[in-house]
Amino acid sequence: MPILELENVNFVYQGKNGSSEFSLNNVDLKINKGEFISILGPNGSGKSTLLKIVSGIFQPARGNVLLDSIPVKSYSKKNLAKFMAYVPQTFSVAFPFSVFEIVMMGRTPYMNMFGYENLKDIDVVNSSLEKVGIYHLRNKGINEVSGGEAQRAFIARALAQNPRILLLDEPNAHLDIEHQITIFNTLDQLNSDSELTILMVSHDLNLAGFYGDRILFMKEGEIKMDDAKKNILNEDNIRTIFNVESRVEKSPGGDYFSVNIVPK
Ligand code: ADP
Ligand code: MG
């Protein structure tokens, strides 16, 4: 039984005059527990829209999204938050919460009706802060840390939620190289040790070549290719999807791929 399933999902952004401006078409997807999947594709291909539909933020015009075979829309907010955490591509925080408070928000679904945190919540928040390397920033305001540090705070908040599925929208966009590696090693470890299912949107073909086992290539509102990374990451497919020339190299063991884009 897949942990997450999309059946013939369609979605349309309506323009001002009712015209359709962008549509996501006929998305069929089955994801099993413990998979680590990268979604790649050009700007505007519908990657973020797809994650918003999976997370229940948007309702599809047609089709179903099922978690453990149950429609996502029939989960309570609390149960959905225990099942799935979502790290959006952009975040704005109007109120000057501290980094610690932002990460503690991940514990909300586990709190009682009075919203009091207990020692376990504090432990989980502290260890999530440590996992992404921002424990020392816990008392700083979220608006007083760098973009990459804020991104790590939102990843820590998602980890504190202790979800079964983690959705990440370009989580490495603001991260320096060292923190890309530490955070992805953490995710990789959660994926292999606790069977955390990971669905990540990324622009980074190398990251997808290194982490995870399956790749979805999206273009023009459709999943054009969906396969194990060893079958997908090649020069022909990268040309078809991204319209660029590349050189793809395989590690000696065949587990990792590195992609170099070659200027025309
Ligand atoms: P990606 O994440 O692959 O870059 P998105 O899923 O964000 O792409 O967007 C897909 C398309 O839908 C884009 O052409 C974008 O302009 C359009 N779009 C995104 N959000 C909205 C919105 N809220 N209203 C109307 N159109 C949108
Ligand atoms: Mg996007």
- pLDDT tens, 146-201? 999 999 999 999 999 999 999 999 998 888 999 999 999 999 999 999 999 999 99
Ligand 1 atom closest to the Cα of residue 218 is 3
Instruction: Using only the alpha carbons of the chain, give its radius of gyration.
Output: 19
Ligand 1 atom closest to the Cα of residue 43 is 4
Verify whether ligand 1 is closer than 6 Å to residue 46 (CB atom). yes
Q: Is the pTM of this model over 0.85?
A: yes
Predicted pLDDT at 154:
96
For CA atoms 166, 154, 150, 134, give the dihedral sign.
negative
| Residues lower than pLDDT 50 in the chain | none
Predicted pLDDT at 91:
81
Return the residue whose CA atom lies nearest to atom 23 of ligand 1: 13
Distance from the alpha carbon of residue 16 to the mean position of ligand 1, in angstroms: 15
Q: What is the DSSP string of 61-93?
A: SEEEEEETTEEGGGS-HHHHHHHEEEE-S----
Verify whether ligand 1 is closer than 6 Å to residue 64 (CB atom). no
